[in-house]
Each structure stands twice: as C-alpha cells, then as structure tokens.
A and B are shown apart, each in its own frame.
Chain A
Amino acid sequence: MSEKRTFRSLMGRLPVVHQLRQSVGLQRGMLVAGLVITGLFLLTAAFAPVLAPYGFAQLRGDDGLFGAQQPPSAEHWFGTTVGGYDVFSRVIWGAQTAFLVIVIAVILSIFVGILLGLLSGYIGGWIDRVLVVIADAVFAFPTLLLAIVAAIVISGGQSNLWGGVMAAAISITVVFIPQYFRVIRSETIRVKSEAFVESARVIGAKTPRIMFRHVFRNSTRTLPLIFTLNSSEAILTLAGLGFLGFGIQPTSAAEWGYDLNKAIADVTSGIWWTSVFPGTAIVLVVLGVTLIGESLNDLADPRLRARRRKATTPADAVAATQPVARDAMGEVL
C-alpha cells in the first residue's frame, strides 16, 4: 500500500504531470495545446528518417534533379528551394537539428548554472560577488552578438553538423548559464534562511550535505519553467544564427534559419513556399514550448491559478485541503 502511495505521490510531484492535474479551464487548454505542439515536434525529430520522403541534402530523386523553386506538388508537398532541396524534408529534418541544439544547450548550461548558483548563494562572500559581476557582465551583451562571436570562435568557420550544432549550443549556453545561475542563486539565498536549513546546521550536517540534500531540491522548483522558456529562446537563437549565415551548411544538416535566409530573395518573386514552411515550423515550436512555460508559470502562482468551481461535497473539499485527520474536538493524537 505504501508503495502505491509513494508511486502516486511521485507521479503527482512530477513537474508537468502535477500541473496538468491541477489545471482547469483556459489554463488547461493552454497547457494541453503546448504539450501537443511540443509532442508533435519531439515525434517529428525522433522519426525524421521515417517521415521525410527525401534526405535533407538530397538534390535528385529516381527521375533526375528535383529542380529549383518548384511549387508544391504531389512529389514535393512543400515545393523545392532555390538550391533544389525538398522543403518538406528539410522542415522535418530541421526538427532534429533544433532538438539537438536545445538538448545540448540546456544540458550544458543547466548543470554549470545550477552548481554555480548553489555555490554562490549558499557560500556567499567573495565567490558570490565575483560570480554575480561576471553574470551581470554577460547579461549586458546582446545575446545574438555573443552567439555570433562564440560561433566563430568555436567552429572556426567550419559548418558540419556537429560543429554547427555545438557552435550554436555553446553560444546559447554562454547566455543561459547566467540565467540559471541567477534564478538558483536567489532561490538558494531564500531557502538558506529557512528554519529547516538551520536545523540541519544545528544537527551538524556538513556543508555539501546541506547544499545538496536540503537546499538544492528546494531551490529548483522554478526550473521547469525556465527550462521551457529557455528552450524557445534556444530555437530562436539558432534560427537567428542560421539566418545571419553562421549556421550549418545545407549538406551537413537541415536548419530552418538557413532556409529562411536563402528564401529572402524568393519572397519578392512570389515564391512563398520556401519561406512560409520553415518559418511556420519555428513559430510553432516556439509557441508550443512557450505555452507550456507560461501555463506552468501561471499554475505555480496561487493568485493566477484558476480553480475548480465546486467539489462534489464540502466534506470532500475539506478532506482534500486538510489531509490531516481531525476528530470532532481539536487534534487527533
């Protein structure tokens, strides 16, 4: 029985699952829409080789070259680009690149950011002051400019898949670390003064134990939120890099920003399909992830959270808010 209880409470405490249960009405709609769009994006990325009719760098099919700037047809659902690639395939393959960049960027930044934030917040002193100054300095740079510099430094002009992905990911990481750092640091400072941390100090727990067992888990509650918001920013930064020409070459991987860049000239000549589809893909993914982030944000705040109107009976409602057994007179033992 206790195992079942633990499992249920564990499920209930998982970030998104918990909020989904809690949500109601419009907020639930937003969250579900976000989850569906993001789910589609993840599925597309995972099954890109199955879904895409052609490779991302494929120029010719069974009956010769695709031809440049072909309008949408049965063979090429979304038409072809100026370079003669299949737009539909490149949009699908692009999901994979975008996913890789998000995962690498977030993983790289989340660990460093959290660790630095914890250290800085809990230990304080000069470590804290130095780290805060560095974080603020990084914040002062425009994101994209920093990303461009990082991309040049990291890839050294190369533009294969991993070089491009890593360049984008690392340049995003540089910008994201301060964000995680700041959030975790301020949470840590708040949690540090709570009585349960002092109680751990009185017991005689060593600093690393207090930091990781007591402070860490209590200061990471807002992470799912920043995680989602940062993911959408990562996609935008990647697309921005690609659009400015610091992206990945079409022969190495499909990348929406690069395709958009190449489609600029098409727009004026009435060729809409080369720009609309990669553009829509970017907008959709950003929208999906942001919807999740925003609804998580609203749900985390009891003042913004919408509530169910009426429970089945008042007794049920009381039982749900007061899990503690109470007898008719004051407290039960």
Chain B
Amino acid sequence: MAAKEPAVDIRGLQITFDTDGGAVDAVRDVDLTVAPGEVLAIVGESGSGKTVTARSILGLLPETAKVSGAVVLQGEDIVSVSAQRLRELRGTEAAMIFQEPSTALNPVFTVGWQLAEGLRSHGKYSKRQAMAHAVEMLRRVGIPEPELRVNDYPHQFSGGQKQRIVIAMALALDASVLIADEPTTALDVTVQAEILDLLRRCRDEFGTAIVLITHNMGVVADLADRVAVMYQGEIVETAPVRQLFAAPEHEYTKKLLAAVPRVELVERPLRGADESASEPLVRARGLEIEYPGRLGRKPFLAVKGIDFDIAAGEVVGLVGESGSGKTTIGRAMAGLTPVTGGSLKVLGAELRSVREREFRPSRKQLGFVFQDPATSFNPLLSIAECVAEPLIVHGLASNPRDARDRVDELLEAVQLPKAFGDRFPHELSGGQRQRASLARALALDPKLLIADEPTSALDVSVQARVLELFEELQERFGFASLFITHDLAVVDRVAHRVVVLHHGEVVETGPTQQVLGAPSDPYTQRLLASLPVPDPVEQADRREALASLRESTV
C-alpha cells in the first residue's frame, strides 16, 4: 500500500481564524497522508482542530479562515485551486458525511431527488439515469425496498437510515476520499454499530479512503486503521491503531486513553442497607407520561407505565437510547413535565396533578444537573450569584453576598477555586461549568439529585474528572441520585442499580454488576454488544459476537 500514491496528502497545513480576539491559529503545521482504502481516524478534544483539518480537504472553511500549506487530493492542491475546480472536485474526488443526518438533508425534497441532484450537478447523468443510480445507491447502503423509498422525504426515515442516505450521497459519485465528521455521534449505540459496519464495507468494497473524525475511542478501535491524535492544533502522535492503543507514546495520548470510560463491572454495594426497609425517596408505579399531540394528532405516550424505586443514598442509572423516555422521566421527577397517568411519588409528594405551590417545599431537597453546561447558567449572573440562587429562593440567604461563605464552601467541594465565583459563566470551560452546576445542585444539601446526561457534552478527559467528582460527592453527601445517560460505561462507574428503558418501557432492572455483566433481556444484550470497546483487538471479537447476536434476535 505504501507504494501507491496517497489519496490525500496534507503538508505543512496552517489555518488561522480571524476572531473578535484577533487571529487564532486553529491548525499549526500539520502533515498527514491517507492511503487509498485506509481509514484514518483523527481524534482529539473539542477545539483541537480536528474538524478544521478534515474540512480543509474539501475546502469547506468559513470566510474568516486563512489557509497556507498544501492539501493535495489526487494530485491537485486544494488550497490554490479555483472555486470552479473545487466545486467539481467535491463529490467526485472527496465527499463529506456530516454529524447530524437530520440537518444534512433538505426536508422539502425527496431523498431520491437529492441524490439525483448531486449526480446531475456534475453532469454525468441524465435525469432518468440519475434516478436509477439513486435507487442503486440506496440499495447498496442497505435501505430496504429502495424503489419505493426513493420517493420518500427525509422525515420518513429513522436517524440511522438518514445517515445511510447521507453516506449514499457521499458515495454516489465514487469519491475516492470520504470525510466523516463524527458520523455516529448523533446516533444510538445500536445504530452506530450498523453505520460503522457500513463504513467498513465502503472501505473494503469500494476501496474508499476514509478520514474519520471522532472523539469516541471505541469507534476508533472499531473502524480505524491508523490514528492521528491532535492536541491544540498540532498532531502529537500518528500510529497504526493497534500500536496506539497498546503502546501510546505521547503523554497526551496516554491521558486520553486512560480517561476513556470502560465497562469494568466493579461491585458497588449500597451502604446502609437497612435503609432499604424505609420508604424510598422516589416511587413510580405504572408511571405514564404523555405529550399532547398537535391539532388532530394523537398524543404521544413517551413513558408507558413503568415501575421503579430510588432508595435513600442510592444512585440509579437510567439507561436507554434516544426516544426511550429517559429524559422525560427525569424532567417529570423535577416537576418540569406533568405526569399524566399512574403514580409518581417524589420526596413524599405525589406528582400526578400536583400544584406547583404544594410541591415547592419539596424542591429544597431536590437538585438537578442539566446536560448542556453552556446554557444552564444565566449568562448575566456571576457563578457565585448562580450558585447562591437556590439559597436565596428558599430564604436561607437574603442576597448573594450573604450566601458567599456557603458558595465558597460549595465551590471548594466541587474543586473550583473560590475566585471563580466572581467569573461569569462564559469565562469557564465546559467541565468547570458542569462542576459549578453540581455545586448549585448541592447548595441546599438535597436528598435527591437528578443528573440528565451530565457528561455527554464534555470531552472524555473532562468527563472522567466530572464522574470522579460525582462519585466522591455522592459518598460524602450521601444523596440519592437518578443518573440519566446513554453511555453504559458511564453508568458502570457511578450507579448502584440500573434501569434499562426501551421505547418507554423498562426492559431490565437490577444491580449494575448483574445487568451489565449478565444481561438477561435481549435488548440489553444487544445494547451492550453494540458498545464499542476502546481496544481494537477485543473489539474485533466483539464485532463478530454482535453479528451473531443480531442474527439470532432478528
């Protein structure tokens, strides 16, 4: 393979952005080559320049970017090529798969039309031929009944199918290089495994070179042949995938790999087992939550009669794919979404048709950590004021200055320096904000903490630290918690008990070790098998196990 001309050859790439704060070097002196039929993964934290590097291959950079160096694609330098030639190259030589399939497709045209449009704009096909080719492409990426589905609109496909269509569009003109920017981040694990299989097939059958951008080391282990690790705009290490996972050389790579959560099945007994005899903090019986439909449509039943308990001091992990109703349950427990059926008792208050006034006293014992730390703070208040807010609302302090001692204590508990209290939310990084968010949730020393995907918006290394902190705080304050997540490895780290949700129903529940170690429900089994392990050797075995499991369950 080394003898062949590389599909992409990046030399001395330097990209600078003009921002409000002046020019920022996003990519510094990057050299990369991708051979035909090779999957190169670029990994790194957000802001490390991995997306910008990959997009430069297609010349897809915003106007504020200044590029120097050379990006040679099939013998042509993208940096110096004309806009007209660049347009011709896009699609025919290199194509892109986007992160969010639902926004990459135009909702007002049929998928067949969109596929054909790409073909015809390069002038190689007549209208009829293009349509026939579109059907053929849909078949190749595994859309069932492509002759009929070709006339469907994007919203009639599921998320995974949409991503398949996006891949079909990228492949339609036989591009020799595919750039996949986080192609599975927006998808559930079971769908992710299928898309990764499809990408693998693209490489094997069409000999396409793939540049895979991802922050998920499991995906890297599953698909990549070679890995480039980026850190602050520079490539710190490039190595074949097995070598990288087995013997990382650079300090940063080592830290990155160490931070990746794995399912380890550590036994996590609940302390104070005698408490389980007393009344649980949360008791759901036949809980139903319905979203009202739009005019003339049936209401949507998000949660279909589920039972679960959370005892004092217990961390319950609520796991499920998107649309399983896990966030809805968390929101209902905090009184943000009304309960429409069954019974949900939280901290002694029945939440079905509760009035806000009656529930307010219980809120003192309830904390909530939101998914996105960027939006969960009032941008105009300082961190100290935000953290003091619960104290003020519940009359424990009359103003933020009054509460400052307690706020400093809390910031210390979440390992933030006191001085950070005077900063504004935008002056903190994601991980720091999420820690401040924990501080706010703990301000009133709650008995129950609801954490809705608290780490999914964070980079792996930051996620590891936030999880560590969560564990530590839980041990120290002994609060019970509902920990909502889609990541089984995260649940394994924090939860005593796991509840697995599927389409609004509980499919399996039990101690973490039991559910993740020896799942009895086929859905849980599939979920676990789909989770890519950050170890290329082990992942290859698991892939086969999953394939056989899929055959047996389908």
Interface residues in chain A, defined as those with a beta carbon under 8 Å from any beta carbon in chain B: 2, 5-6, 9, 22, 194-196, 198-206, 209, 213-214, 217-218, 302, 305, 307-312, 314, 316-321, 323-324, 326, 329-331, 333
* Residues of A close to B416: CB separation below 8 A: 333
A305 and chain B: residue at smallest CB distance = B20
B376–A2 contact, CB under 8 A? no
A324–B428 contact, CB under 8 A? yes
* Residues of A close to B375: CB separation below 8 A: 194-196
8 closest A-B pairs (Cβ-Cβ)? A311-B22, A320-B21, A204-B363, A317-B22, A321-B21, A195-B376, A202-B368, A195-B375
* Residues of B close to A330: CB separation below 8 A: 45, 252, 255, 459, 461-462
Q: How far is the CB of A322 from chain B (nearest CB, A)?
A: 8
* Residues of A close to B251: CB separation below 8 A: 329
* Residues of B close to A323: CB separation below 8 A: 427
B440–A317 contact, CB under 8 A? no
A-B contact pairs, 15 of them (CB 8 A): A195-B376, A196-B379, A199-B376, A200-B393, A203-B363, A213-B378, A217-B380, A307-B18, A307-B19, A308-B22, A309-B18, A317-B19, A321-B21, A331-B431, A331-B461
Of the candidates B336, B415, B424, the one whose C-beta lies within 8 Å of that of A202 is B336
B462–A198 contact, CB under 8 A? no
Of the candidates B393, B415, B432, the one whose C-beta lies within 8 Å of that of A209 is B393
Q: How far is the CB of B411 from chain A (nearest CB, A)?
A: 11
Of the candidates B22, B366, B367, B376, the one whose C-beta lies within 8 Å of that of A196 is B376
Residue B390 CB within 8 A of the other chain: yes
A330 and chain B: residue at smallest CB distance = B461
Of the candidates B18, B386, B427, the one whose C-beta lies within 8 Å of that of A308 is B18
Contact status of A331 and B393, CB under 8 A, knowing A199-B370, A202-B336, A321-B20: no
Contact status of A318 and B389, CB under 8 A, knowing A194-B375, A323-B427, A330-B461: no
A325 and chain B: residue at smallest CB distance = B429
The interface bits of chain B over 334-364 (1 if a CB of A lies within 8 angstroms of the residue's CB, else 0) are 1110000000000000000000000010011
A202 and chain B: residue at smallest CB distance = B368
* Residues of A close to B367: CB separation below 8 A: 202
Interface residues in chain B, defined as those with a beta carbon under 8 Å from any beta carbon in chain A: 18-25, 45, 64, 251-252, 255, 334-336, 360, 363-364, 366-368, 370-372, 375-380, 386, 389-390, 393-394, 415-417, 422, 424, 427-429, 431-432, 440, 459, 461-462, 465
Q: Give bound CA distance, A309 to B64, whole Å.
A: 10
B460 and chain A: residue at smallest CB distance = A330
Q: How far is the CB of A27 from chain B (nearest CB, A)?
A: 13
* Residues of B close to A318: CB separation below 8 A: 21, 24-25
A331–B335 contact, CB under 8 A? no
B389–A218 contact, CB under 8 A? no
A199–B440 contact, CB under 8 A? yes
Q: Give bound CA distance, A196 to B440, whole Å.
A: 11
* Residues of A close to B366: CB separation below 8 A: 202
Q: How far is the CB of B456 from chain A (nearest CB, A)?
A: 14
Q: Give bound CA distance, A302 to B62, whole Å.
A: 13
Of the candidates A194, A218, A314, the one whose C-beta lies within 8 Å of that of B25 is A314
B424 and chain A: residue at smallest CB distance = A9
Contact status of A22 and B23, CB under 8 A, knowing A2-B422, A203-B390, A204-B364: no
Q: How far is the CB of B532 from chain A (nearest CB, A)?
A: 23
Q: How far is the CB of B451 from chain A (nearest CB, A)?
A: 12
B378–A311 contact, CB under 8 A? no
A220 and chain B: residue at smallest CB distance = B380
* Residues of A close to B19: CB separation below 8 A: 307, 317, 321
* Residues of A close to B23: CB separation below 8 A: 309-311, 314, 317
* Residues of B close to A206: CB separation below 8 A: 393
A320 and chain B: residue at smallest CB distance = B21
B393–A204 contact, CB under 8 A? yes
Q: Give bound CA distance, A157 to B169, whole Å.
A: 72
Q: How far is the CB of B175 from chain A (nearest CB, A)?
A: 30
Q: How far is the CB of A42 from chain B (nearest CB, A)?
A: 28
A196–B429 contact, CB under 8 A? no
Q: Give bound CA distance, A202 to B393, whole Å.
A: 11
B18–A324 contact, CB under 8 A? no
B435 and chain A: residue at smallest CB distance = A333
Q: How far is the CB of B230 from chain A (nearest CB, A)?
A: 13
A207 and chain B: residue at smallest CB distance = B356
A320–B336 contact, CB under 8 A? no
B47 and chain A: residue at smallest CB distance = A322
* Residues of B close to A308: CB separation below 8 A: 18, 22
A200–B22 contact, CB under 8 A? no
Q: Give bound CA distance, A102 to B244, whole Å.
A: 69
* Residues of A close to B45: CB separation below 8 A: 330
* Residues of B close to A324: CB separation below 8 A: 427-429, 432
Q: How far is the CB of B256 from chain A (nearest CB, A)?
A: 9
* Residues of B close to A2: CB separation below 8 A: 422
Q: How far is the CB of B408 from chain A (nearest CB, A)?
A: 14
Q: Give bound CA distance, A320 to B23, whole Å.
A: 10
Q: How far is the CB of B459 from chain A (nearest CB, A)?
A: 8
B372–A195 contact, CB under 8 A? yes
Additional 8 contacts, C-beta under 8 A, given A196-B378, A203-B394, A311-B22: A196-B376, A202-B367, A202-B368, A213-B378, A314-B25, A317-B19, A321-B19, A331-B432
A317–B389 contact, CB under 8 A? no
A321–B370 contact, CB under 8 A? no
* Residues of B close to A205: CB separation below 8 A: 389, 393
B20–A202 contact, CB under 8 A? no
Q: Give bound CA distance, A314 to B372, whole Å.
A: 30
B378–A214 contact, CB under 8 A? yes
Contact status of A195 and B370, CB under 8 A, knowing A204-B364, A321-B24, A330-B461: yes
Q: Give bound CA distance, A201 to B25, whole Å.
A: 41
B252 and chain A: residue at smallest CB distance = A329
B20, B370, B465: which has the most chain A beta carbons within 10 Å? Answer: B20
B450 and chain A: residue at smallest CB distance = A202
Q: Give bound CA distance, A196 to B380, whole Å.
A: 11
* Residues of A close to B24: CB separation below 8 A: 314, 317-318, 321
Contact status of A333 and B415, CB under 8 A, knowing A5-B422, A196-B375, A218-B380: yes
Q: Give bound CA distance, A329 to B459, whole Å.
A: 13
Q: Give bound CA distance, A108 to B462, whole Å.
A: 50
A22 and chain B: residue at smallest CB distance = B20
Q: Give bound CA distance, A206 to B360, whole Å.
A: 9
Q: Give bound CA distance, A326 to B251, whole Å.
A: 16
Q: Give bound CA distance, A199 to B443, whole Å.
A: 13
B429–A316 contact, CB under 8 A? no
Q: Give bound CA distance, A104 to B334, whole Å.
A: 45
Q: Give bound CA distance, A312 to B461, whole Å.
A: 32
* Residues of A close to B372: CB separation below 8 A: 195
B18, B372, B377: which has the most chain A beta carbons within 10 Å? Answer: B18
Q: Give bound CA distance, A82 to B375, whole Å.
A: 63
Of the candidates A198, A314, A316, A331, the one whose C-beta lies within 8 Å of that of B370 is A198
B363–A202 contact, CB under 8 A? yes
A203, A205, A302: which has the most chain B beta carbons within 10 Å? Answer: A203
A317–B363 contact, CB under 8 A? no
Q: Give bound CA distance, A311 to B428, whole Å.
A: 23
B363–A307 contact, CB under 8 A? no
Q: How far is the CB of A195 from chain B (nearest CB, A)?
A: 4
B255, B367, B389: which has the most chain A beta carbons within 10 Å? Answer: B389
B431–A196 contact, CB under 8 A? no
Q: Give bound CA distance, A203 to B356, whole Å.
A: 12
Q: How far is the CB of B15 from chain A (nearest CB, A)?
A: 12
* Residues of B close to A331: CB separation below 8 A: 429, 431-432, 461-462, 465
Q: Give bound CA distance, A179 to B364, whole Å.
A: 40
Q: How far is the CB of A184 from chain B (nearest CB, A)?
A: 16
A201 and chain B: residue at smallest CB distance = B336
* Residues of A close to B22: CB separation below 8 A: 308, 310-312, 316-317, 320
B431–A329 contact, CB under 8 A? no
A200, A218, A316, A331: which has the most chain B beta carbons within 10 Å? Answer: A331
